[in-house]
Structure 1
């Protein structure tokens, strides 16, 4: 009799915990998180800003402008399973001063949630390491791989 009561109480507790667990942040929270990252994560676009309309951005890069702030270089578009990833990097005197994600997978709420958490980590790791030799973000393997390949192509083009 005691075992049955204990089993029923345990089962009820597990069910209450299971149904009260929230599995996603929701679309608005993920989007707000991405937007709050000081503009480093731009929206997913088909072509990067400054690309003439009608031209393809796949595999292209502009050396960008060489201003007092540094040289802006755009990496190749890397097509992942969930969408394209493209990164733009600003270098000055051989060091990375800023990183901007021009394209990233955002076709569904889950991708938006994952990337809202992963992209700020990847950008910060790049700025800290001053190279593309950074760890991937767990749970964002495809985005991390695309990010690393795009940032490496941008750094190769910049000569950094």
Structure 2
């Protein structure tokens, strides 16, 4: 019988065990994916004199504290730290309805960021105005910006009592 054709069960057991251990080590070395807003540190004070947690940059021109406001009110959401940079939006509400959403901070450090956000931000704005809430779809190809936009929009609406 040829030497390579000999039945060696011990060799097979050792190789199978080594392969199993190697696979287990590689599996355990994978890092779990965390969302940027969960891993983000507290944001510093935003421009305009308001703290990032408060979100309010303008005062209501009239209304009550019951959540249904009259008049026009502008509220800035918290800064959401994403993988590519901070995202922050400002919402204008008139008689409780969203009339405008403006991105005041977004990644724009390089041409690729500028390209992505040039099509993503107008699309996110249109969806927010149509939905009248932060329950909007993310833009394909701009998932980090979309997550930051939605998070900041929700915090602005929460600050406004919506």
Q: Which TM-score tier does this pair reach, normalised by the shorter chain?
A: 0.5 to 0.7
- 1:86 is aligned, of 81, 85, 88, to 88
Name 2:133's counterpart in structure 1: 131
Unpaired runs of 5+ in structure 1?
Answer: 1-45
- 1:51 is aligned, of 32, 44, 49, to 49
Moved over 3 A (4+): 46-49, 57-60
Name 2:58's counterpart in structure 1: 64
- 1:150 is aligned, of 149, 152, 158, to 152
Contact kept? 1:63, 1:158, Cα under 8 Å: no
Structure number with the bigger relative contact order (C-alpha 8 A, sep ≥ 6) is 1
Q: RMSD over aligned Cα, in angstroms?
A: 2.0
For residues 55-75 of structure 1, give each alpha carbon's deviation from its aligned partner in whole angstroms, at most 9, with x where no partner exists: xx5434225122376111110
Give the greater-gyration-radius structure (CA): 2
Contact kept? 1:106, 1:112, Cα under 8 Å: yes
> TM-score if structure 2 supplies the norm length?
0.63
> TM-score if structure 1 supplies the norm length?
0.63
Query: What pairs up with 1:81-120 in 2 under 5 angstroms?
Result: 81-120=83-122
Query: What pairs up with 1:16-27 in 2 under 5 angstroms?
Result: none
For residues 14-49 of structure 1, give each alpha carbon's deviation from its aligned partner in whole angstroms, at most 9, with x where no partner exists: xxxxxxxxxxxxxxxxxxxxxxxxxxxxxxxx9755
Query: What pairs up with 1:11-50 in 2 under 5 angstroms?
Result: 50=48
d(CA) in 2 for partners of 1:111 and 1:59?
26
After superposition, the Cα gap between the structure-2 partners of 1:47 and 1:111, relative to the gap in structure 1 and judged at 3 Å, is farther
Equivalences, count: 111
1:133 CA displacement? 0.6
